[in-house]
Amino acid sequence: TVAMEYSAAQAARLTGASASQIAYWARTGLVVPEGRPARYSFRDLVALRVVGALLAAGLAPARVRRALRYLIDAGEDVTGLRIVTDGDRVWACRDDGQILDALSHGQLALFVAVDSYAAEVAAEVATFERERDEFVADLRRAGT
C-alpha cells in the first residue's frame, strides 16, 4: 500500500497550524517534509502538532528543532512518544516507561509508574488481609 501524503494546505488543516507557519517551519528545518517536496507524511503531521505544542508552551524554536532532530536521528518513532516540556527542557516518554531528555543527548531518566505500584500494593494488601482472615477463622474453628 502507498502511504498517504498531504499537501501543505491539507497539513495545515489537519494540524491546526497555519500554512505560513508550516512553510516557515520547513524553511527553518523544524519540520521538513519526508515525502516529495511540500508533501507531508503522517509522521510529519504528528511532528507539526508537536512543534506547535512545544512552541505554544514557550520553548524556543532552536530548542524545539534540537529536540526533534535528536529524537528523529536517534531512530525514535515520534508518533509513539509522549513529549513533556517545562518550557525549557524536553522529555520524550516511551510506552515502556523510559524517559529520554531530548536536549541532553538522550540521557535516560527514571520513570516511576506510581499508579501501577499502587495497584500492586493494593493487590498484596488484599491477599494479606484474606490470608489473615482465613488464619484467624482456622484458629477459631480449632479452638471450638
Using one digit for the tens of pLDDT, what is the confidence trace for 5-61?
A: 888 899 999 998 999 999 999 888 888 887 667 788 888 888 888 888 888 888 888
Model confidence at 112: pLDDT above 80? no
DSSP 21-88: HHHHHHHTTSS--SSSTTEE-HHHHHHHHHHHHHHHTT--HHHHHHHHHHHHHTT--GGG-EEEE-SS
- Provide CB contacts within 8 A for 103, sequence distance 6+: 63, 66, 67, 70, 89, 90
pTM value?
Answer: 0.63
pLDDT > 90: what percent of the chain? 14
What would the grid cell of residue 75 be?
Answer: 531512530
| pLDDT for the residue numbered 143 | 79
Using one digit for the tens of pLDDT, what is the confidence trace for 75-95?
A: 777 777 788 777 777 888 877
What would the grid cell of residue 38 be?
Answer: 511540500
